[in-house]
Structure 1
Amino acid sequence: MERFGDWIIIIAAAGIMIWWLLRRFDHWLHEPPGSRLRKLALAGGVEQDDTVILLQEHGYEVLTGKHRIPLGVILDDGPVKSTYPYFDYLVSKEDKYYLVKSERSGQPTDWTTNGLRDKFLLFILLFPDCEGIVIVEFDSQQLRTVRFKVGDGE
Structure 2
Amino acid sequence: MGNYTDGLLMVLITGIAIYLIYRGMQSWVRKPFSLRSGIGFQFNEEIMEHPAVDLLEQAGFEIISDKLKVPLAFKVNGNVLHSRLFIDYIVTKDREMYLVKTARERLTVEWTGSGVRKELLPFLLLYPECTGVLYVDTDLGDIRTIALINDEDEDESAHKGTWRT
Whether TM-score is above 0.5 comes out as yes
**8 Å contact kept, 1:45–1:63:** no
- Aligned counterpart, 1:55: 56
Structure scoring higher RCO (CA < 8 A, sep ≥ 6) equals 2
Shift, 1:79, TM fit: 2.2
Aligned-pair identity (%): 30
- Aligned counterpart, 1:129: 129
- Aligned counterpart, 1:104: 104
Letter in 1 for 2:69: R
Secondary structure, aligned partner of 2:121? helix
Letter in 2 for 1:46: I
Q: More helix per residue: 1 or 2?
A: 1
CA RMSD of aligned residues (A): 2.2
Q: In structure 2, do the counterparts of structure 1 residues 123 and 107 end up closer, same or farther at CA, with 3 Å as the change threshold?
A: same
Secondary structure, aligned partner of 1:121? helix
TM-score for the superposition, normalised by structure 2: 0.64
TM-score for the superposition, normalised by structure 1: 0.68
Deviation sequence 1:104-130 (CA, Å, 0-9, x none): 001111100111112111111111111
Q: In structure 2, do the counterparts of structure 1 residues 64 and 115 end up closer, same or farther at CA, with 3 Å as the change threshold?
A: same
Secondary structure, aligned partner of 2:82? strand
Deviation sequence 1:76-103 (CA, Å, 0-9, x none): x152121011110000001000000001
Q: Which structure 1 residue ranges, 5 or more long, are not aligned?
A: 1-35
Shift, 1:40, TM fit: 3.3
Equivalent runs, 1:24-63 vs 2, <5 Å: 40=41, 42-63=43-64
Shift, 1:44, TM fit: 2.9
Shift, 1:138, TM fit: 2.2
2-structure distance, mates of 1:78, 1:40: 28
2-structure distance, mates of 1:42, 1:137: 23
Q: Which structure 2 residue ranges, 5 or more long, are not aligned?
A: 1-37, 155-165
2-structure distance, mates of 1:109, 1:67: 20
2-structure distance, mates of 1:78, 1:151: 37
**8 Å contact kept, 2:52–2:137:** no
Moved >4 Å (runs of 4+): none
Q: In structure 2, do the counterparts of structure 1 residues 42 and 137 end up closer, same or farther at CA, with 3 Å as the change threshold?
A: closer
1-structure distance, mates of 2:73, 2:150: 26
**8 Å contact kept, 2:43–2:68:** no
- Aligned counterpart, 1:87: 87
Structure showing greater Rg: 2
2-structure distance, mates of 1:120, 1:131: 13
**8 Å contact kept, 1:41–1:90:** no
Shift, 1:42, TM fit: 4.9
